[in-house]
Amino acid sequence: MNFSTWHIDIDLLLQVNNASDDQLLSVPVFYNLGYYNESQAVEVPLVAGKNVLKFMRASEAMAPMAIREFFIYLARPDIPAPARNFTPPPPAPRPDKFIEVPADTTCAKQGITEVPEAFCKEACEALAFKYAGGRPYSNMTGCFAAASGKSALCAYNTNASASVCPNQPCTVDGGVAQQICLRAG
């Protein structure tokens, strides 16, 4: 894509044919000081015959961009990467993608993905919990909520060597802890 923008942290999503929301492709849009520049290549899964490409934005349109043209290549082009400080972080999942699993199970047992640390605050807020930040705990992993006990909290366990307690439900600060995961699909 040949585009121009004066803003950072904006996005452009691509839906190919009738792809579901979780199959949307993220087109890498970066801050390019208002000059036209090419985005990094995105592999687009096309089928034989007619294909429909639909572009949309997840962020508010308060940060406009100008798109001059789109390119379709048969082989991946060699396009220099933009400066790291000009590229936005990946967008957070939609609020309805977060789920708090019951205290007697885990994300892994359910076969769904744990919420990454970068999105734990959004997950907590989407589930109406106050985010307490990241800090080390001994018996819970990832993003979790402990809505009862002496200090109700929603946090991310930064202790990489921690594991989920062997006999669930697990407790953190006297409250029953429940992992927060990303819904499949």
Distance CA 30, CA 137 (A): 37
Task: Give me the chain's average pLDDT, please.
Answer: 85
Helix (H, G, I), strand (E, B) or coil at 20: coil
Q: What is the mean pLDDT of residues 3-7?
A: 84
Give the end-to-end CA distance of the chain in Å, rounded to a whole number.
28
Q: What is the mean pLDDT of residues 42-52?
A: 93
pLDDT at residue 95 in the model: 83
Of 38-47, 60-69, 94-103, 105-114, the range with the lowest mean pLDDT is: 60-69
Please indicate, yes or no, whether the overall pTM of this predicted structure exceeds 0.75.
Answer: no
Residues 132-169: pLDDT tens digits?
999 898 888 899 998 776 667 899 999 888 887 877 78
